[in-house]
Structure 1
Amino acid sequence: MTTHRSTLLDRDLPPDIADLPAVLEWLAALRAQAPVWRDRYGMHHVTRHDDVQLVLRDHATFSSDFSAVMPGSETMTKGMLTRLDPPEHRALRHLVSASFTPRRVAGLEPRIRELTRRMLDEAGEAFDLVDTLAFPLPVTVIAEMLGLPAADHPRFRAWAEGLFSMQVDDPKEAVNDPRVRDAMGEVTTYLGDWCRARREDPTDDLVSALVTTEVDGRRLDDEEAANFSMLLLFAGHITTTLLLGNAIRVIDGNPGAWASLRADPSTIPATIEEVLRLRPPFPLTARATTRDVDISGITVPERSMVMPWLLSANHDPDAHPDPERFDPSRPGIGGGSQLAFGHGIHFCLGAPLARLEARVALEEMTARYAALSVGEGEQQPYTSRVLGTRHLPVVTT
């Protein structure tokens, strides 16, 4: 085992996320022997649960603003919540947080259930889960919240799949990659037009709130509002799209799980948490150090990129005993030790919405189908940055 683990550590880049067993084996080796591992591009990968939680919590040391490490990034992330530190982060998060409070999100349940039933009514006995439900459900909900037209949903999917599939050799050079700039530019041009229209004629939607509300005595300019809108649009649907696909794949891989959910729908929320632990939609994130810092006895220099692995933290046996076992009754699964949605000030703003959409979808499917299993056909797993598939054929009875 020691020899095999040493071989795993000989590589200079992570395995492809599409090969999940290989990634999990590699991460286990890192946790045991190299909990802070530097790749060929100088990225420091952090893999133990407590270290990942520390990186996410200590925003003063581990900054979300990469401009000091990645020159030029500020032009692409201006106004983007996930790339800001306090106090600007606090002000911008407050701007939209009212739309994602538990009470406001709970009020969306009738609409989510209506959409789910309508989509499943049109599905038939065999269908592609992503095409039929996992994509159109959350994109419809977030587009309605933003005030964007249903006719543009196919464009949103194409943009998201293009960006989340794009391979960039050196992550620090992503901001200078013309493919990335062109892809993001197309999205922000589209959203910028909507921001300008809503500034002139505001309505009751999130884009109008972004362009008309003052933050620290000023309003967001069109570039900031477009970037923020892009974040809400993509994160607001891709998370649930991936989560639903992952849930069906995990349930399908555990005989009896579907029948258990049908027998006791009250276990669906815990099942969702266990799926999030096993297969977080975003397996890792990134931070930039503002000073020299010690992590598990390794000194990471100032102005270094740190990559905390949410997937690894969620599979750390020190935090989750027998971590590869699917166990919705696992103690504390809904608590802070499950890091799929992050931790600290950047905890996912849309987590309550993603959980609600997944719960309603699973409630409706388990009530409707005596059995549902993954069918034959190409799934097209993502190969970088996100964990899930573009397609998922399923068969029902």
Structure 2
Amino acid sequence: MASSPTIAPRPTVEDGGHALFSWLRTMRDEHPVHEDEFGVFHVFRHADVLAVTSDPAVFSSELHRLRPDSEALTEEILSVIDPPLHRRLRRLVSQAFTPRTVADLEPRVAEVAAELLDGVDGDTFDLVADFAYPLPVIVIAELLGVPAEDRELFRSWSDRMLSMQIEDPSDLQFGDDAGDDYDTLVKEPMKAMHAYLLEHVEERRRRPGQDLISRLVAAEIDGEKLTDSQVVEFGGLLLMAGHVSTSMMLGNTVLCLEENPGVWDALRADRTLIPAVVDEVMRLRPPITMMARVTTQDTEVAGVPVPAGRMVVPSIVSANHDERVFEEPERFDPARGAGNQQTAFGHGIHYCLGAPLARLEGRIALEALLDRFTEVRITPGARLRYHRDGLFGVRNLPLTVRRG
């Protein structure tokens, strides 16, 4: 089906997202459910995004339904399975990755943040390279029990996978017919990461430790335990998605504060405001901008018929900017209390298990910057490079700072 000629192409976020926000407003008002030229249905309004993500029986997370012969997306990956398997697997993972586990990380996160800022010489540095990238990688690597010194290896895997551009999201090529780009940018680093993590899983089965991999290996409910592959997949998901999204969140936080300099002063006066700032950053500029589902039967969204076997893409960033829920959605306002309504951490059964860790890292990172610098500004004239479509964040963020 050809795309309507009245719909302008989706803008990038290279202006900080402002052109995209305007385009999304038009889509919410005029095309709240839109079938693109590839037959993919995009969902833009907050209520409809919640409806899709609340009904896994009709809107499945099992993307392999699009390519039943593919082995790339399997029952081992928590983010792309449905109940009842999802429920069992999440219970097992949650037994090891508990709120207490995250809370206990606070002293170490603060220590790592301070050490990284200790390494900043002079009055300029790159937030992403020197702070926002290494902070979550070190924390998650130590949590899992893998060497934090391997973070450049992790970065090489994530950079290759994040550079993959898929022109038609419904035409995913996962199997033996995958193209060279997919092999090079996704399959090879994914295979290397899995082999790396599997070595650590096998080692913990022989000699358990105090790390998360050991706890995942030991987790048991009603005689059921996680397989090696399931532990590997969760470890990989936490390592890759955890550090990428947190890194982008920290960059987006500084972008938001740059545009609203009075917030820095408010935070210096009252640090209890920091959690609300983090949530508002996630609402305004969510690092992951969309989700993906596959219809299991003929259905409809907001009155628009959607056939079975089609990809449905709920827009996280559009839902977070829906003026039907958020007054003046493009305005950065931590006082709006959007934490319970914004969808940056997902919704329903797939609500992000790592959300408490991301919020903890975001809070401590801001506290560390406030402790160390009396002023933080984006270096004038700096050229920012953004991640590809589907992600909302900068790859670099040169800062000029002033110390007390």
Name the structure 2 match of 1:34.
Answer: 31
Name the structure 2 match of 1:15.
Answer: 11
Query: Is 2:248 the partner of 1:242?
Result: yes
TM-score (norm 2): 0.91
Deviations 1:348-392 (A, max 9, x none): 101011001100111121232111011143432101321101111
Q: Is the alpha carbon distance of 1:74 and 1:57 closer, same or farther for their aligned partners in structure 2, counting shifts above 3 Å? A: farther
Distance 1:37 1:133 in 2: 39
Distance 1:316 1:91 in 2: 34
SS, match of residue 333 in structure 1: coil
Verify the 8 A CA contact 2:64 2:73 in the aligned structure 1: no
User: Which of 268, 289, 292 in structure 2 is aligned with 1:286?
Assistant: 292
Deviations 1:104-155 (A, max 9, x none): 3222111111111111121132111111211111111111111111221111
Name the structure 2 match of 1:3.
Answer: none
Q: Is the alpha carbon distance of 1:198 and 1:372 closer, same or farther for their aligned partners in structure 2, counting shifts above 3 Å? A: same
Distance 1:256 1:268 in 2: 13
SS, match of residue 267 in structure 2: helix
Letter in 1 for 2:153: R
Distance 1:289 1:215 in 2: 31
Name the structure 2 match of 1:145.
Answer: 143
Q: Which stretch shows the higher mean deviation, 233-242 or 208-217?
A: 208-217
SS, match of residue 394 in structure 1: strand
Query: Is 2:397 the partner of 1:392?
Result: yes
Name the structure 2 match of 1:299.
Answer: 305
Letter in 2 for 1:161: D
Name the structure 2 match of 1:109.
Answer: 106
Gaps in structure 2 of 5+ consecutive residues: none
User: Which of 53, 56, 59 in structure 2 is aligned with 1:56?
Assistant: 53
Gaps in structure 1 of 5+ consecutive residues: 1-5
Verify the 8 A CA contact 1:164 1:385 in the aligned structure 2: no
SS, match of residue 65 in structure 2: coil
Name the structure 2 match of 1:89.
Answer: 86
TM-score (norm 1): 0.92
Name the structure 2 match of 1:382.
Answer: 387
Distance 2:21 2:217 in 1: 43
SS, match of residue 89 in structure 1: helix
Deviations 1:31-67 (A, max 9, x none): 1111111122211110000000111111111111122
Verify the 8 A CA contact 1:126 1:393 in the aligned structure 2: yes
Name the structure 2 match of 1:200.
Answer: 206
Query: Is 2:232 the partner of 1:226?
Result: yes
Verify the 8 A CA contact 2:95 2:219 in the aligned structure 1: no
**Superposition pairs for residues 321-336 of structure 1, below 5 Å?**
321-330=327-336, 332-335=337-340
Letter in 2 for 1:385: G
SS, match of residue 172 in structure 2: helix
Verify the 8 A CA contact 1:199 1:208 in the aligned structure 2: yes
**Root-mean-square deviation (Å):** 1.9
Verify the 8 A CA contact 1:165 1:384 in the aligned structure 2: no
Deviation at 1:73? Answer: 4.3
Query: Is 2:44 the partner of 1:47?
Result: yes
Verify the 8 A CA contact 1:18 1:387 in the aligned structure 2: no
Name the structure 2 match of 1:317.
Answer: 323
Work out the number of aligned pairs and report it.
Answer: 388
Query: Is 2:365 the partner of 1:350?
Result: no
Letter in 1 for 2:18: P
Name the structure 1 match of 2:372.
Answer: 368
Deviations 1:215-257 (A, max 9, x none): 6644444333322221111122112111100000110011322
